[in-house]
């Protein structure tokens, strides 16, 4: 993805949030971004997570998905209160465009910091983006334990024979 395409998608996300807050915004024509890929929109404030929502696969054109995810991250991430107008100038937006997830048969195939990872066990599931390892400075074992915790499972569930893992890559970019 070119720098100009990244800039357009970031502007699209920022303007979707501004419009939802009743703040001035620009209409951006991004209808040419019609490919369907998984994506996440992550919001940070003061270098701390402030919202993150995404989908590994998409049935929507990328431009529409980015708008929707920006709004969901700002107002509907259940871990946070909805974003307030006075916070908006301090929000940094990060977008992750996903590759298609691929099943792995052994955790040795999962490379920390390069791969995102999905855990599935019966009806439980969780996901971490590739950049989580760098942001948290977790070891592979710590990340896998946190992945289990996020899914609502015991910390050592990643060792079970019936757990499934998928990995993916992401093109990650953010505004200033």
- Residue-wise pLDDT tens digits, 49-66: 999 999 988 889 999 999
Which class is 102-169 in CATH? Answer: alpha beta
Single pTM value for the model? 0.87
54 CB burial (10 A radius; 0-12, 13-18, 19+):
buried
pLDDT digit string, tens, across residues 73-131: 999 999 999 999 999 999 999 999 999 999 999 999 999 999 999 999 999 999 999 99
Q: What is the mean pLDDT of residues 145-165?
A: 97
Helices (H) then strands (E): counts for the chain: 4, 8
Q: Which CATH class is domain 3-98?
A: alpha beta
Torsion of CA 154, 158, 161, 162, to 10 degrees: 70
Query: What's residue 58's pLDDT?
Result: 85
| Domain range summary for the chain, segments of one domain joined by + | 3-98, 102-169
* % residues pLDDT > 70 (the chain): 99
By residue count, the chain amounts to 176
């Amino acid at each position: 993805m070119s720098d100009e395409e990244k800039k357009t998608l970031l502007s699209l996300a920022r303007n979707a949030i501004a419009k939802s807050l009743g703040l001035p915004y620009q209409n951006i024509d991004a209808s040419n971004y019609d490919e369907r890929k998984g994506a996440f929109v992550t919001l940070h404030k003061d270098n701390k997570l402030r919202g993150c929502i995404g989908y590994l696969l998409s049935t929507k054109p990328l431009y529409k998905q980015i708008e929707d995810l920006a709004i969901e991250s700002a107002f509907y991430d259940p871990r946070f209160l909805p974003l307030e107008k006075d916070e908006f100038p301090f929000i940094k937006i990060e977008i992750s465009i996903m590759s298609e997830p691929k099943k792995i048969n052994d955790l040795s195939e999962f490379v920390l910091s390069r791969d995102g990872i999905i855990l599935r066990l019966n009806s439980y599931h969780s996901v971490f983006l590739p950049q989580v390892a760098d942001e948290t400075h977790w070891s592979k074992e710590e990340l896998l334990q946190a992945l289990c915790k996020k899914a609502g499972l015991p910390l050592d569930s990643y060792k079970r024979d019936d757990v499934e893992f998928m990995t993916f890559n992401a093109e990650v970019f953010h505004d200033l």
